[in-house]
Amino acid sequence: MTTTPATTPDSPEGQHRPPSPDWPGWPAETGERYRAAGYWRDELLGDIPARQAALRPDAIALVDGPRRWTYARLAADVAELHGSLYRLGLRRGDRVIVQLPNQAEFVLLWFALQRLGAVPVHALPGHRRQELTHLARVTGAVGYVFPERHARYDHRRPAAELAAAHPALKHTVVVGDPGGHVGMVPFASLLGGEAPRPVPAEAPVAADDLALLLLSGGTTGTPKLIPRTHQDYGYNARAAADVCRLGPASVYLAVLPIAFNFTMSCPGILGTLQAGGTVVVCPSPDPATALALVDREGVTITAVNPPLVPHWLREAQVGGHDLSSLAVLQVGAARLADDLARRVGPSLGCRLQQVFGMAEGLLNLTGLDDPDEIVCTTQGRPVSPGDEVLLVDGDGTPVAEGRTGELLTRGPYTLRGYYRSPELAGSHFTPDGFYRTGDLVRRLPTGHLSVVGRAKDQINRGGEKIDATEVEGHLLAHTAVEAAALVAVADTELGERSAAFLVCNGPAPSVRELARFLRDRGLAAYKAPDRVHEVTELPLTPVGKIDKNALRQRLQENGTPDAAGGGPGRKP
Ligand code: OOB
Q: How far apart are CA 11 and CA 454, in angstroms?
A: 31
In the chain the first and final C-alpha atoms are separated, in Å, by 47
Give the per-residue pLDDT at 217: 80
333 lines ligand 1 (CB under 6 A): yes
SS (H, E, C) 15-32: ECCCCCCCCCCCEHHHHH
Give the per-residue pLDDT at 10: 41
**For 187-200, what is the mean pLDDT?**
86
Atom 3 of ligand 1 has which residue's CA nearest to it? 358
User: How do residues 489-505 score in pLDDT, each as one tens digit?
Assistant: 999 999 999 999 999 99
**For 243-263, what is the mean pLDDT?**
98
359 lines ligand 1 (CB under 6 A): yes
Tell me the CA–centroid distance for residue 398 and ligand 1, in Å. 22
Tell me the CA–centroid distance for residue 47 and ligand 1, in Å. 28
Domains and CATH numbers, the chain: 1-26+387-456 (2.30.38.10), 458-558 (3.30.300.30)
Give the pTM: 0.94
Tell me the CA–centroid distance for residue 261 and ligand 1, in Å. 10
Angle between helices 308-318 and 287-297 (to 10 degrees): 60
332 lines ligand 1 (CB under 6 A): yes
Tell me the CA–centroid distance for residue 560 and ligand 1, in Å. 30
437 lines ligand 1 (CB under 6 A): yes
Proportion of the chain above pLDDT 90, given as a percent = 90
Give the per-residue pLDDT at 563: 41
- Candidates 291, 245, 310; CA nearest to 272 is 245
**For 225-234, what is the mean pLDDT?**
98
Q: Is the pLDDT reported for residue 11 higher than 50?
A: no
358 lines ligand 1 (CB under 6 A): yes
Q: How far apart are CA 388 and CA 399, in angstroms?
A: 15
Q: How far apart are CA 249 and CA 287, in angstroms?
A: 23
Tell me the CA–centroid distance for residue 5 and ligand 1, in Å. 24
Cα Dmax for the chain: 72
Atom 8 of ligand 1 has which residue's CA nearest to it? 358
Residue 338: CB atoms within 10 Å: 12
Q: Is the pLDDT reported for residue 572 higher than 60?
A: no
Please say whether the beta carbons of 334 and 355 come within 8 A: no
Q: How far apart are CA 95 and CA 477, in angstroms?
A: 31
Angle between helices 129-139 and 156-165 (to 10 degrees): 40
Q: How far apart are CA 180 and CA 378, in angstroms?
A: 53
Q: What is the CA radius of gyration of the chain?
A: 23
Atom 9 of ligand 1 has which residue's CA nearest to it? 358
Give the per-residue pLDDT at 558: 63
Please say whether the beta carbons of 267 and 353 come within 8 A: no
215 lines ligand 1 (CB under 6 A): no
Query: Ligand 1, from 356, 387, 407, 466: best to mutate by most atoms within 8 Å of Cβ?
Result: 356
330 lines ligand 1 (CB under 6 A): no
Residue 155's pLDDT band (boundaries 50, 70, 90)? very high
Proportion of the chain above pLDDT 70, given as a percent = 94
Q: How far apart are CA 324 and CA 295, in angstroms?
A: 8
Query: Ligand 1, from 358, 376, 464: best to mutate by most atoms within 8 Å of Cβ?
Result: 358
CA distances to 188, 288, 390, 547 from 541, rounded to whole Å, are 57, 48, 28, 5
Contacts of 512 (CB under 8 A, 6+ apart): none
Residue 569's pLDDT band (boundaries 50, 70, 90)? very low
Contacts of 159 (CB under 8 A, 6+ apart): 144, 146, 172, 174, 181, 184
Specify the 3-state DSSP secondary structure of 206.
coil
Q: How far apart are CA 276 and CA 333, in angstroms?
A: 26
Atom 7 of ligand 1 has which residue's CA nearest to it? 358
User: How do residues 410-441 score in pLDDT, each as one tens digit?
Assistant: 999 999 999 999 999 999 999 999 999 999 99
Tell me the CA–centroid distance for residue 439 and ligand 1, in Å. 9
Tell me the CA–centroid distance for residue 455 and ligand 1, in Å. 14
Residue 469's pLDDT band (boundaries 50, 70, 90)? very high
